Amino acid sequence: MTLPIQVGPATITINRDDRVLICQPDGRIDVGAEEGFFARDTRFVSGYDLYINGRRPVLLNSSPIQFYSARFEYTNEDTLDEVGLIPRHSLSIRLDRTMSGGVHEDYDIVNYGRRPVRLTIEVEIASDFADLFDVKAHQLVRRGSLHSRWFRSRRELRTVYEHRDFRRELILDIDKAATPPQFANGRLAFIAAIPPKGEWHACIRWLPVTTKGRRPATLGCHALLDPVVDPPGPGHLPRVRLVTSNQAVGRAWDQAVLDMEALRLEDPTFERGVFIPAAGVPWFVTLFGRDSLVVSLQSIAGYPEFAAGALRRLSGLQATSDDPERDMEPGKIPHEIRHGELAQLGILPFQPYYGTHDATSLFIIVLSYLYHWLGEEDLLRRYLPNAEAALAWIEDKGFVILNGRPMTRAKGLARIEDGGKNLSMKGKPMKSKRSRRRARLVAAGKAGRRGAEPSVTLEVVKRVGQRMAKGLPLHYALALEDKDISPDAFHKALQRDAKLSTHLTRWKAKFIEAAVTKLSEGEMADLKWLLSRRHPDLFAEQTTPKEQAADSTAVGLQELLNRSRELARLKAQSGEG
């Protein structure tokens, strides 16, 4: 088999479902790097090395063969056995890795020397069961207990990690070994006597156990290409074939089919045969609302199974209650779900996290596309409650208007990342004043802030009134201030000083007049509709957006201004805020 020239990062990545293996070009895994064998957001193998008579073999070439398989070709340097020198380049050492529910390794050594050789083959595999987020942050923390046990009769090494309700296990299963395995000094060892032109073979299977008592399946020996030629089974997407005389188009199509299969996810804790597309390999091999729905939308002609699976999975996770820590509001479609230790134990809010606005809109769009593609009315009946809940969230809570542009709200992650004052949502420092204000807007949903509250002056009331006149809710209007002022502190200041309350009402009325006089007829209708939602006491007689839009005339606009002035006058006379 000819290995292609590798272009790109100095790592080799293979994956299948939510299993990912990232290693160096020589097959090694460095515990301090962003490498390892990951399953359901946990790193099961954090270190790997191979030794032949105490020395690392010399890498000749390596490459991924398919998205789920890779091959590594080695030879030897000058080394010694009990007889004497083993000349360099007299041994062919090959390592094949394939990915399915676990990793299947094939070790093959051929002796091209003139005499028999005695080799000590050692495989060092370490497990730290680190959470994916800890690996990415290069901050490894062991929160639970870790222990290993060697079962000689079963030829298995079991390593178990436990922390409260979180339990993961890695089984290293030795199979079809030409010589009996041993375990000592943290290494699996084989003593192989190989005659001239003779071969030695062994298999090691890495089996991650995420569900108690269930061992995952692996591919067979040297199955670098097997899933491509075998007929698709229940764990595979149906194949969409393209027949063309243009070889370039045919190859591009075949590669696209493999790429779609590489993104396929099937949650073992959910219903079998429900496929969803992953957001990306290697760090986003999980359900992302936006990414999964976009892929489903783009591939619906060839793989409607992705759209059906995404709707099925996301509808079951649609929010039904309010949880600010996870940006969760009734009707929202989740942004991301994780299954690692930090998420499962509630240390990070990813079970699931709802901090996105576009996934909810995309859910409705994909439902429409899938119905038009399949023509099944049962599809609409099944997801009608979910679609109605999503539309209710979009209409009631999805957007606010700031400077004429729609913006969305978020609360959860901003609380984790320093209240959104100095950090972006990705944790990077933000330097500009505009960026800090934008982050403060994201964090504005939090009720109350620590420390002494800044004073509420007439200038503050003026600015807040101007923003509220444009339809911005109070907590967002306050978030745009240079100083942090909570809604509670603002209301208390108004209660203490009736003058501030009166000025707020007057400024709101004045800026309503200044804003609407510069708007077109359609924009006037939109503003009136928005203000009617924020201030229903100004528009008691209007009931629907359609009726509001129909009333966008000069008479209706003047009525709007008259009502606003009248309300300000009455409140000023009565001293109400």
Which tens digits make up the pLDDT trace of 56-100? 999 999 999 999 999 999 999 999 999 999 999 999 999 999 999
Q: Give backbone dihedrals phi and psi of 262, rounded to 5 degrees, phi first.
A: -65, -30
Mean pLDDT over 156-183 rounds to: 93
Q: What is the pLDDT of residue 487?
A: 77
pLDDT digits (tens, 9 = 90+) for 231-247: 444 456 677 788 899 99
Q: 12-219 falls under which CATH superfamily?
A: Glycoside hydrolase, family 65, N-terminal domain (2.70.98.40)
Residue 170 has pLDDT above 90, yes or no: yes
* Least confident piece of the model among 15-19, 295-299, 483-487: 483-487
- Helices (H), ranges, 41-147: 132-137
Alpha-carbon distance 113 to 91, whole Å? 7
Q: What angle do CA 25, 27, 29 make, to 5 degrees?
A: 105
Distance separating alpha carbons of residues 322 and 409, to the nearest angstrom: 14
Those residues whose C-beta lies under 8 Å from the C-beta of residue 397, and which sit 6 or more positions away, are 329, 331, 409
* pLDDT band, very low/low/confident/very high, at 12 (cuts 50, 70, 90): very high
Evaluate whether 11 touches 23 at the Cβ level (below 8 Å).
yes
Residue 230 has pLDDT above 80, yes or no: no
181-184, strands of its sheet edge to edge: 47-52, 117-126, 187-194, 181-184
Radius of gyration of the chain (CA): 31
Average pLDDT over residues 396-402: 61
Here the tokens at position 6 are: 């590798």
Q: Is the pLDDT of residue 435 over 50?
A: no
Q: What is the mean pLDDT of the chain?
A: 78
User: What residue ranges do the domains of the chain occupy?
Assistant: 12-219, 247-398, 453-574
Helices (H), 318-425: 341-344, 358-374, 377-396, 412-416
Among the residue ranges 163-167, 248-252, 291-295, 398-402, the one predicted with the least confidence is 398-402
pLDDT at 315: 93
What confidence score (pLDDT) does residue 446 get? 41
Instruction: Report whether pLDDT(415) > 50.
Output: no
DSSP β-ladder status, 166-175 and 91-99 = unpaired
For residue 291, the number of C-alpha atoms closer than 13 Å in the C-beta half-sphere is 17
Reported as a pLDDT band with limits 50, 70 and 90, residue 307 is very high
What is the structure's pLDDT at 512?
A: 54
H or E element: which one contains 167? strand 166-175
- Written as six digits, the tokens of 339 are 């299954």
pLDDT of 9 reads: 61
Q: How far apart (Å, rounded) are the C-alpha atoms in residues 577 and 566?
A: 14
Q: Rounded CA gap, 351 and 362, in Å?
A: 20
Which pLDDT belongs to residue 488?
76
Residue type, 249: V
Tokens of 165: 């309700």
Residue 43 scores a pLDDT above 60: yes
Which one has a higher pLDDT value, 461 or 106?
106
At residue 552, the pLDDT reads 41
pLDDT in tens, 507-553: 656 555 554 444 455 545 555 555 555 455 544 544 444 444 434 43
Question: How much is the pLDDT for 85?
Answer: 93
Report the DSSP beta bridge partners of residue 162.
Answer: 145, 167
